[in-house]
């Protein structure tokens, strides 16, 4: 006999999901966080410095070039790209932006960023 809501040793229990947000206060925090990822951290710092000057609130809104790029890694939300990507508000969070950039990197290396030709 079981009681609804009773947790037994064989009952899987999910831990509550708590939002964890790293607070990246300045460029040194941002650089340190970039270096926590499994990529060439020095290169990623140079690349994102070229893209945004490591500014979490950077916005390149230029429809003529097909850009609506947001945050440190300048994630482009122009046109159809926006439907499969996070929101502008999410991408303004420095940690989230770097995490998303890292997921992009795992799929395509550093190729998605225009500054790859400059650094």
Domain count, the chain: 1
In a domain, 12, yes or no: no
In a domain, 6, yes or no: no
CA atoms within 13 A on the CB side of 29: 9
In a domain, 67, yes or no: yes
Residue 89: pLDDT band (50, 70, 90) is very high
- How wide is the angle at C-alpha 49 spanned by C-alphas 119 and 89, nearest 5°? 130
In a domain, 78, yes or no: yes
Comparing CA positions, the residue from 104, 116, 99 lying closest to residue 33 is 99
End-to-end Cα spacing for the chain? 67
**pLDDT tens across 37-71, in order?**
999 999 999 999 999 999 999 999 998 988 999 99
Largest CA distance in the chain: 68
Is the predicted pLDDT of residue 80 greater than 60, yes or no?
yes
Is the predicted pLDDT of residue 74 greater than 80, yes or no?
yes
Its domain, for residue 106, covers: 27-117
Is the predicted pLDDT of residue 27 greater than 90, yes or no?
yes
In a domain, 20, yes or no: no
């Amino acid at each position: 006999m079981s009681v609804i809501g009773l947790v037994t040793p064989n009952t899987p229990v999910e831990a509550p999901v708590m939002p964890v947000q790293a607070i990246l206060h300045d460029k040194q925090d941002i650089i340190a966080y970039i270096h926590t990822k499994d990529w060439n951290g020095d290169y990623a710092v140079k690349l994102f410095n070229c893209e945004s000057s490591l500014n979490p609130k950077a916005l390149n809104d230029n429809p003529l070039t097909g850009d609506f790029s947001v945050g440190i890694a300048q994630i482009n939300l122009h046109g159809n790209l926006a439907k499969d990507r996070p929101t502008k508000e999410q991408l303004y969070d420095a940690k989230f932006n770097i995490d998303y950039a890292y997921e992009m990197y795992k799929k395509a290396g550093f190729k998605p960023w225009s500054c790859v030709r400059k650094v």
